[in-house]
Structure 1
Amino acid sequence: MPDPRATEQRKITLGEGNRKKLQKFQREQEKAKVIKAACALLNSGGGVIQLEMANDNKYPVEMGLDLEESLRTLIQSLNLQDFFMTKQEGKCYYIFVKSWSSDPFPEGISFKPRICSLSSSLYCRSGTSVLLMDSRQAFSFLKNKKMKAKTFGQEHPAKVVKAIRQDSCNSHFAYQFFQKDHLEYGEIVPFPESQVIEFKQFSTKHIQEYVKNIIPEYVSAFANAEGGILFIGVEDKTKKVLGCAKEKVDCDSLKKKIENTLYKLPCVHFCQSQCQIDFTVKILDVLAKGELCGYACVIEVKPFCGAVFSEAPKSWIVKDKLICSLATQDWVNMMLDTDPGKMEKTPSLGPPLSRPVYSKKGLEHKKALQQKLFPVLPGHLKYTPKSLWRELSSQNEGLEELIDKEIFPFSQGILIFSRSWAVDLSLKEKQAVICDALLVTENSPPILYTILREQDADERSYCTHIALTLKQKLVNMGGYTGYLCVMAKILHLSPESNSEFLEDSGSWIDYPSSYYLANIQQMEALLQSLVIVLLGFRSFLSDQLGCEVLNLLTVQQYQIFSNNLRNYRELFIHGLPGSGKTVLAIKIMEKIRNEFHCEADEILYICENQPLKNFISNKKICRAVTRKTFMKSDFQKIQHIVIDEAQNFRTEDGDWYEKAKTITQRDKDCPGILWIFLDYFQTNHMESSGLPALSAQYPRKRLTKVVRNADQIAEYLKKELQEVIKNPPPNIPRGSLQMLLEAEWDQGVLGTLNVKKNLTSSQIVTYVTDECKLLFEKGYSSKDVAVLVSTMSDMDFYRLELLRAMRKKIRVVQFADANDMSGDHIVLDSVRRFSGLERNIVFGIHPKTVDSALLHTILVCLVSRANQQLHILWH
């Protein structure tokens, strides 16, 4: 079982005959353990359930029909082999669990829910019946509720009564009946059960508990539809009022019990009202010939704008090696984890914890990236990357012979080397590790080799942790949907130490053949998931959409990112506009933290502008400051520095480059990292930047693949880049501009480019207002839009005029500067202060400059900020 804390909890009786001999409560208790573990593993990337058999059987036994049926119910499939395989070894019985995925069933069913659940705990009304929704029905219900939330939430204060009145020709009597304050014993209710009316009789024992147990299902069903009334104390077949004897009921206590039960029902909102369930509880006297003989209960439930559950959904995941119930809101969020659109998604559907992975049209998708980075050649076993393999084998005598010996039995696949797979997986590096190598080969599960010089005290736990993390990321991040385990194996260069598989990794289990990669197609599918693990990063789009979205690095970005940091303590990265410099800077800081065991406050990010500094600060991966703050402060704790948009730095406060270099070289034996990102094409001043001469910027890498802008915007950007080359500002080294000759422009993303000239200020305000109105009607939000001007005085003028115009034509719109990029508002700021940031839609208003030599570099900066639409408006 995944929870290893109590051995006795693992004991399960197996075999059909053995299970029939169990008492019912014991059989249900054991079944619950298995179901919880299976559901948790299905929702958490798969795994193995190890059961200790409570019964003594000399020969292998079957699981038991009740367990099999429960597992089928869990996956909503007749074929257990879709997700489960079993094996018995002595007293141990193993259930191998594949990760759940929402790809279609083999039988062709077009939809599967995003997660597995034993019960949705959502009820609906069907005629006079109350039905529990299965996962598919729950998904459709929640999706429809979410779509209708804006118009559904606040408009039905009397809808229950209206529904009752319209239900049948006798609805008038039902309405009058509801208004009574007492009923007659034995009288016949003058209307039948219906979609909005239910009759129930009191239980003869434990009345409060009975009422508490039946109410949640009916309230959930009524609240999730058009509301309804539950009469308790009316026999459903005869429609006679019987009530409950007065001696058995404490009216105040019963009413309080009911109300407390309803207030505690889990509910999820899809609107901003956050209202509670709207209900009324009435305890009615039941009279016999004018004398009180008992009580009836009437509960009126109004329709709810969101979803009402009878209890929390029965669904589990694994967290920190423990099985945990999913909270109701988390369950709904996972069920509705749908495609946010606007870009091309790399994997279609996948495991429950996997996030959407998108690549912009024109960029390589995961298959193309895999073919470039990790190709599998028929009949060939490839070592990659070659440069790292050569470096490792030359530095470590005996490594080549050791590796060749280990992989001798395998003839087809790929062996992927890394200085540290731990760092690649965003874990802390272990200094004793020479290298790691992942073998993806035919007729074997993936094997992760960890090579150490000699034996180490905690090598087992370290290596199994890396293997398990890789396996989980391949499924939960990479979207791999097959049976998967990653075998961990330690190799030692020391001849006194022998290589060994690790028992803690699960390598000791004899996995079924389904875990073995059978052919090139299966190897490539796994390697494409690996591409997402290694090249994926949290997209800036995530903040706009309110859900986690991943993008993929380009091959060029990944090649720089995967460099050995110890070989590149100082590095200059020249990147064309839109080539992803800031993205790469973020990834490098994450890598520094793991490779050098740094805390966030030991890594310093420096930029020129406050908005970009705030944007990076919110990532909480480093300490971020502007250049001015850097020059005024002392940074004793800082070990590593990453500088962004360095072309716009100045020397007015001192030699920033010399200060940064001094800080990172304080430890002569182990200097820190100093990486500097810059783009001379976006220089926005005429002063000295403080950068070393171009010839002294060594080592130097280039990012020449432009990935941000739609086709029309990219074409305009090319023209402006050529203008910069023709007339560069005097403070830009001409040799730096030659990288434009190497530029790669990805095509295939349609966008909008509008350049309007000779407009008055009033016409500009009208144009921006009308365009925003159209954009919002098409589903764009304020978070998509930036309005960029030239000066602070322009900002003040256009903020006032645009607010005035938009309030007449559009819903309430807010403006704010770029210091807060995550708020639900239109950004209004200067082109210079928006450097390093981006928005889908950009309006550039008269991007003039005092120095005419900077006109085209300012235009380059403006144009490159827009992803999909660019509107340049000139006076």
Structure 2
Amino acid sequence: MKMSHRSLVVELSCPDLVINVGKVTLGDQSRNELQETQRDHEKAKVIQAACALLNSGGGVIRLEMANEDEYPMKMGKDLACSLRELIQSSYFPAFFEFKQQGRSFYIFVKSWSNDALAEDSSVKPHICSLNSSLYSTSCSYVLPMDSREALQFLKKKKNDAKHSLISETETSPLSGISKADHHNTSESNPAYKVFQMKSLKHGDILPFSQSQSIEFEQFNTTDIEQHIINLIPRYVSAFANTGGGYLFIGVDENSRKVLGCSKEKVDLKSLESVIEGAISNLPLVHFCSSQPKMEYSTRIINVFKREELYGYLCVIKVEPFCCVVFSEDPKSWMVNEKNVCRLTAGKWVDMLTDTDPELISELAEAFESQLSLSHRPPLCRPVYSKKGLEHKADLQQRLFPDPVPSDHLRYTPESLWQELVSEHEGLEELIHRQMRPFSQGILIFSRSWAVDLNLQEKEGVLCDALLIAQNSPPILYTILGEQEAGGQDYCNSTAFTLKQKLVNLGGYTGKLCVMAKVLHLSAESNTESMEGAVCLISYPRSYTLVDTQQAEALLQALVIVLLSFRSLLSDQLGCEVLDLLTAQQYALFSKNLRKNRELFVHGLPGSGKTIMAMKIMEKIRNVFHCGTDRILYICENQPLRNFISNKNICEAVTRKTFMKKDFKHIQHIIVDEAQNFRKEDGDWYEKARTITQRTNVCPGILWIFLDYFQTCHLDESGLPPLSEQNSKEELTRVVRNAEPIVNFLLEEMQAIRNSPPDNIPSEYLRMLLEAEWARGIQGYLKIEEDLTREKIVTYVANTCKALFAKGYSEKDVAVLVSTSREVERYKHELLRAMRKKRILQLSDACDASGDHIVLDSVRRFSGLERNIVFGIHPSTPETAISHNFLVCLASRAKQHLYILWRSV
């Protein structure tokens, strides 16, 4: 982002993005009477605000009428034409609507989405831009690229860079450029011969004409340096982007006569400095790895008149560039927090060329797209979920069914509504009174919609309710117990965040606003008093929901807002990808923390316990207004501790560290993989309870995540007996593993259930009967027996090479052995076998997110996952837990599991 436009003000008093552009003259006649500079200045403010809102989720532009007229006025034809030009579409009403209220004129801007663009173009840019600032040459013309042309050009450049390797022996950045293009700047080109000359005569006719690689310009003797500065960006950009070329300054374009510039009017050193400065300021965007500088040469040729030096001819020779040269940063804007900012060339290219990630075939078979970037607002990210799990439409029907019932208004979740009514006398009457105007729709209650949106909870808020009703825009109600300052600000902020996320996260493409309304529940009178409305903008009728289809589209966007989280696919694909919680996981996440301060979460292998632990820590931070230094995450192993620590959402330690320190600053504790804890260093559970219950008035949170099926020891765990775990929840849906791996897990868990170790409560094992999983997800399970150590390492190396040829990489693979001692035994042999296959990256699990193959023990990899897992002789001396050990191993693998047994 670049610096903001100072004359544009982002207002903060409304639950929407409102940009105040100040005074603007309206009406054709009045605008025609303005000076051209004033008219252009006003137009620029409006266009920049419109572009920023189109790229930032939509909103409202507020214009203050500069006219003295009191009657309603049209905006002005030049402004309307500029807005139409901005979106490059004949379907103008899809993005803009207009309304005058008093002396304010409003432009309502819908978020950019290319589904509303003209259908006659197969290339639809992902963001809105007034000007790409990219040029190319065609025949004898230098032409600007519009957004569609720029997108095609950038895609080609990106594809060329992807499929061509730049040789390290090349001394110039011309790799990937065709010989024909390079010929334009070679010695066989007649322009090159002139470029090599030291002198010419005034009036000489150059032996070539303007062409795709040659342009003639004359010196502007009024302001030579400024003229050069104006010429260079478009010509140099065009030549660099289209095979190279020559710019001759001082030649008449029609007659080809050398005219030069009088020596009295130009300073050579200053001229060369101006040229160098202008070219060095051109933005470059690279797709290649070498990232060379743009190459050019400048030649000042003496021009003689009657044997005397008359002046100079300037020639700039531009080499073809491997990637992209802009004349300046594109004219495209976004809202960044409170500022309207111009996009840099690099950011603009990233957004314009942003596409769904390319999943290799096996991942594509396992994952289903829930939200594609195609036809979605610019800030959206792709959303995927495992095939076989609930689609966003299924989740919407499960969480918010029948959003516009034909005969009544539905309150949901019904259980929460009943809780709230029982807790707050008069709430039911208050809500019913507010809902009288609405006969069809859904009212969605939450103890805090702010927390649901990852904002901080506000003290004094009894609940929030979101109304999705027919013939009404969405309305967010905040119900306060007493008259409190800041209630409307809180409601506005929450409604604003909700609207932004519905568009920029949930991908909603319709016209949208969320109204904010504060209600007060008086314990004495049971009547409401509403704070004065702050946002007086009256939205057009098109911003209301008119049918079930619109309501369902909005609620499916809401599902993504509420249930999405950063997928671990992001690290593998190198871009931000979102995943969705299952309905079961969301039910756990939605629990009232104040009523569930201590909770044991029992989850089957691959049910997402660690993901839920991270989500709960984020929620704790918002509900209790505490910093990350007040939340402690405890696990058994260093690799999982490091993984969580890198998320910067808490303080993370191992159990051993926890038992050594006091942690007087900690208020809340999350324990993960607790089945593998031991009491060898003391009673960790009692210590955790003591810390979180220091304050009787407001005790902290203690949630413990565990799975007895993955218990990998026979010692006492320190967990209270199952019968004394008074508050429990279960996660029984396996979401991580492909079906062949799930089937293996089920067999091993059944073996555990048939003959459980002594330290596993038998009543827990009934959870296996509740197991669910996504069926039909392709995967691979291979068990090889009676292999020598040499055959094992060769098998791993050969299999990795074959999988990498299919699109997998080192970051997909984990090689797990029984013990840390085994790691050292296999490390050197495995590295030697891998290097023969040109696979070089191998490390332990302490950096599990790194771009390398992990080699570590099964126990140390507990809680982590990778697409491909090799288990080398996964045995343990304690035969009673051999099946548990295999469950722990297998549950780490998402797509491929290879179990390689060593011959004894």
Q: What TM-score do the two structures reach when normalised by structure 2?
A: 0.93
Partner Cα distance (2:182, 2:805) in 1: 38
Partner Cα distance (1:234, 1:215) in 2: 16
1:73 and 2:100 aligned: no
Which is further off, 286-295 or 442-451? Answer: 286-295
Q: Aligned to 2:898, what secondary structure does the other structure show? A: strand
Aligned residues: 872
Match of 2:875 in 1: 848
Question: Which segments of 5 or more consecutive residues in structure 2 lack a partner in the other structure?
Answer: 1-7, 13-17
Of 368, 371, 377, which residue of structure 1 is paired with 2:397?
Answer: 371
Of 504, 512, 533, which residue of structure 2 is paired with 1:476?
Answer: 504
Alignment map for 1:572-583 (pairs within 5 Å): 572-583=600-611
User: Is the CA contact (8 Å cut-off) linking 1:41 and 1:97 kept in structure 2?
Assistant: yes
Q: Aligned to 1:750, what secondary structure does the other structure show? A: coil
Q: Deviations over 1:254-312 (max 9, x none)?
A: 11111111112111122232322222222222233543221122222223232211111
Question: How far apart are residue 314 of structure 1 and its match?
Answer: 1.1
User: Is the CA contact (8 Å cut-off) linking 1:167 and 1:194 kept in structure 2?
Assistant: no
Question: How far apart are residue 460 of structure 1 and its match?
Answer: 1.6
Partner Cα distance (1:659, 1:382) in 2: 46
Match of 1:554 in 2: 582
Name the amino acid aligned to 2:59: G
Name the amino acid aligned to 1:42: L
Partner Cα distance (1:324, 1:383) in 2: 42
Alignment map for 1:57-72 (pairs within 5 Å): 57-72=69-84
Alignment map for 1:5-84 (pairs within 5 Å): 9-84=21-96
Match of 1:133 in 2: 145
Match of 1:3 in 2: 10
Partner Cα distance (1:802, 1:143) in 2: 40
1:503 and 2:529 aligned: no
Structure 1 157/662 Cα, relative in aligned 2: closer, same or farther at 3 Å?
closer
Alignment map for 1:611-626 (pairs within 5 Å): 611-626=639-654
Q: Aligned to 2:229, what secondary structure does the other structure show? A: helix
Q: Aligned to 2:633, what secondary structure does the other structure show? A: strand
User: Is the CA contact (8 Å cut-off) linking 1:575 and 1:677 kept in structure 2?
Assistant: yes
Q: Deviations over 1:106-126 (max 9, x none)?
A: 646444211111111111222
1:252 and 2:274 aligned: no
Q: Aligned to 1:10, what secondary structure does the other structure show? A: strand
Name the amino acid aligned to 2:77: L
1:356 and 2:382 aligned: yes
Alignment map for 1:103-182 (pairs within 5 Å): 103=115, 105=117, 107=119, 109-150=121-162, 151=164, 153=166, 163=180, 166=183, 171-182=188-199
Of 853, 874, 878, which residue of structure 2 is paired with 1:826?
Answer: 853
Partner Cα distance (2:216, 2:848) in 1: 55
1:640 and 2:668 aligned: yes
1:728 and 2:752 aligned: no
Q: Aligned to 2:247, what secondary structure does the other structure show? A: strand
1:695 and 2:723 aligned: yes
Partner Cα distance (1:390, 1:168) in 2: 79
Match of 1:88 in 2: 100
Q: Deviations over 1:689-746 (max 9, x none)?
A: 1100010112100000111111222222222221222232221111111101001111
Percent identical pairs in the alignment equals 62
Question: How far apart are residue 618 of structure 1 and its match?
Answer: 0.8
Match of 2:229 in 1: 212
Match of 2:329 in 1: 312
Question: How far apart are residue 170 of structure 1 and its match?
Answer: 11
Structure 1 778/298 Cα, relative in aligned 2: closer, same or farther at 3 Å?
farther
Question: Which segments of 5 or more consecutive residues in structure 1 lack a partner in the other structure?
Answer: none
Structure 1 765/241 Cα, relative in aligned 2: closer, same or farther at 3 Å?
farther
Partner Cα distance (1:743, 1:360) in 2: 17
Partner Cα distance (1:347, 1:161) in 2: 39
Match of 1:191 in 2: 208
Partner Cα distance (2:799, 2:588) in 1: 40
Partner Cα distance (2:784, 2:255) in 1: 78
User: Is the CA contact (8 Å cut-off) linking 1:170 and 1:191 kept in structure 2?
Assistant: no
User: Is the CA contact (8 Å cut-off) linking 1:139 and 1:335 kept in structure 2?
Assistant: yes
Question: How far apart are residue 191 of structure 1 and its match?
Answer: 2.4
Partner Cα distance (2:150, 2:20) in 1: 36
Q: Aligned to 1:305, what secondary structure does the other structure show? A: coil
Which is further off, 658-667 or 492-501? Answer: 492-501
Name the amino acid aligned to 1:833: R
Match of 1:521 in 2: 549
User: Is the CA contact (8 Å cut-off) linking 1:604 and 1:642 kept in structure 2?
Assistant: yes
1:332 and 2:349 aligned: yes
Match of 2:693 in 1: 665
Of 451, 461, 484, which residue of structure 2 is paired with 1:456?
Answer: 484
Q: Aligned to 1:466, what secondary structure does the other structure show? A: helix
Of 445, 449, 452, which residue of structure 2 is paired with 1:417?
Answer: 445
Name the amino acid aligned to 1:213: N
Partner Cα distance (1:753, 1:125) in 2: 56
Structure 1 582/782 Cα, relative in aligned 2: closer, same or farther at 3 Å?
same
Q: Deviations over 1:33-67 (max 9, x none)?
A: 10111111111111111111111334322221111
Of 300, 304, 315, which residue of structure 2 is paired with 1:298?
Answer: 315
Question: How far apart are residue 98 of structure 1 and its match?
Answer: 0.6
Name the amino acid aligned to 1:199: F
Question: How far apart are residue 602 of structure 1 and its match?
Answer: 0.2
User: Is the CA contact (8 Å cut-off) linking 1:164 and 1:171 kept in structure 2?
Assistant: no
Partner Cα distance (1:108, 1:514) in 2: 26
Q: Deviations over 1:386-407 (max 9, x none)?
A: 1111111011110001001110
Match of 1:98 in 2: 110
Question: How far apart are residue 169 of structure 1 and its match?
Answer: 13
Question: How far apart are residue 653 of structure 1 and its match?
Answer: 0.5
Which is further off, 833-842 or 228-237? Answer: 228-237
Q: Aligned to 1:702, what secondary structure does the other structure show? A: strand
Structure 1 segments (4+ residues) deviating >6 Å: 5-8, 158-161
Match of 2:257 in 1: 240
Partner Cα distance (1:269, 1:164) in 2: 19
Partner Cα distance (2:775, 2:344) in 1: 44
Q: Aligned to 1:62, what secondary structure does the other structure show? A: coil
Name the amino acid aligned to 1:731: N
Q: Aligned to 1:323, what secondary structure does the other structure show? A: strand
Question: How far apart are residue 440 of structure 1 and its match?
Answer: 0.6
Structure 1 501/34 Cα, relative in aligned 2: closer, same or farther at 3 Å?
farther
Structure 1 316/570 Cα, relative in aligned 2: closer, same or farther at 3 Å?
same
1:874 and 2:901 aligned: yes
1:466 and 2:473 aligned: no
Match of 2:862 in 1: 835
Q: Deviations over 1:296-335 (max 9, x none)?
A: 2222222323221111111111122321112222222212
Of 800, 803, 806, which residue of structure 1 is paired with 2:828?
Answer: 800
Match of 1:776 in 2: 804
Q: What TM-score do the two structures reach when normalised by structure 1?
A: 0.96
Q: Deviations over 1:354-393 (max 9, x none)?
A: 1111111111111110000011233232111111111110
1:719 and 2:759 aligned: no
What is the RMSD computed on CA atoms of the aligned residues? 2.1
